[in-house]
Structure 1
Amino acid sequence: MTSKDTGNQGENRAADLLLSKGYKIIERNWRTKGGEIDIIAMKDEVLVFVEVKTFPNATSDMLSSVLGIQKQKRIVKTAKHFLLKHRQYSNSYIRFDAIVLDMQGLPPAYHIENAFTE
């Protein structure tokens, strides 16, 4: 299985987790030239930009390096592009979450709400 296959399966699991928690999936793999957001979802009046990471052989110490400042900035910039193109969400609260899958020492699917802010 390639890393792309692993990523796609992880994103499917993450989307299923969000749906089971009452979120509505707005977009998946939303791209601009500068970046990509794995999942954009809505719950109540909160628009959530979700980064999905599948780490079958990693530890929690590695998470901060993979979801570092540069990655966060790229996600925020991409989210701003999304909001410019989709004005219907301009009055929504915004949140940046992460869903970590298969990491040692964590549940199989671990949802981190407010994983980072702008």
Structure 2
Amino acid sequence: MTTNSKQISGKLAEDLTLRHLETCGLSLICRNWSCRSGELDLVMLDGDTVVFVEVRYRRHAAWGGALESVDLRKQQKLIKAAQLFLLKESCWAKHPCRFDVVAMGSAEGGAHPSWIRNAFDS
């Protein structure tokens, strides 16, 4: 798979995830927020809770499942990026926060998203 097709697959996974979460009542704050620590795929609002959503897509189960790819190192990067987001977007800083992972791919059952709420502690 070329880099371009990986980007397309990742974007499609994000698009599907966004639609799924919106149908579940969440609303988008921003998408692909970048900083020196990394990128937040989706930042959403669930009631009054700011939700940092990591979207993971794996085409082949042999490479490991999408959920397993969010290891401790990746979690630490996401936490740091979320902290920077809350500093820069201070209007959200007083809201409760959580980290969700939405996994898609052959190991997770195809195009249907597997949504893990509060996937790890900050």
1:56 paired with 2:59, answer yes
Q: Which runs of 4+ in 1 moved over 2 A?
A: 61-65, 102-107
Letter in structure 1 aligned against 2:90: R
- TM-score normalised over the length of structure 1: 0.90
Unaligned runs of 5+ in 1: none
For residues 103 and 25 of structure 1, what CA distance do their matches in structure 2 show? 26
* 2:58–2:65 CA contact under 8 A, matched in 1: no
- TM-score normalised over the length of structure 2: 0.87
1:78 paired with 2:81, answer yes
Q: How many residues are matched?
A: 118
Kindly, what percent of the aligned residue pairs are identical? Answer: 27
For residues 55 and 104 of structure 1, what CA distance do their matches in structure 2 show? 7
CA offset at residue 88 of structure 1?
1.0
Q: Quick one: which of 13, 36, 44 aligns to 2:47?
A: 44
Partner of 1:114: 118
Unaligned runs of 5+ in 2: none
CA offset at residue 109 of structure 1?
0.8
For residues 35 and 53 of structure 1, what CA distance do their matches in structure 2 show? 15
Partner of 2:13: 10
CA offset at residue 96 of structure 1?
0.2
Letter in structure 1 aligned against 2:38: G
1:24 paired with 2:31, answer no
Find the residue that maps to 2:21 and give its secondary structure. Answer: helix
For residues 49 and 109 of structure 2, what CA distance do their matches in structure 1 show? 26
Find the residue that maps to 1:3 and give its secondary structure. Answer: helix
CA offset at residue 117 of structure 1?
1.2
What's the C-alpha RMSD, in Å, of the aligned pairs? 1.9
For residues 58 and 96 of structure 1, what CA distance do their matches in structure 2 show? 24
Partner of 2:101: 98
CA offset at residue 102 of structure 1?
2.5
CA offset at residue 114 of structure 1?
0.7
CA offset at residue 25 of structure 1?
0.5
CA offset at residue 64 of structure 1?
5.5
Letter in structure 1 aligned against 2:5: T
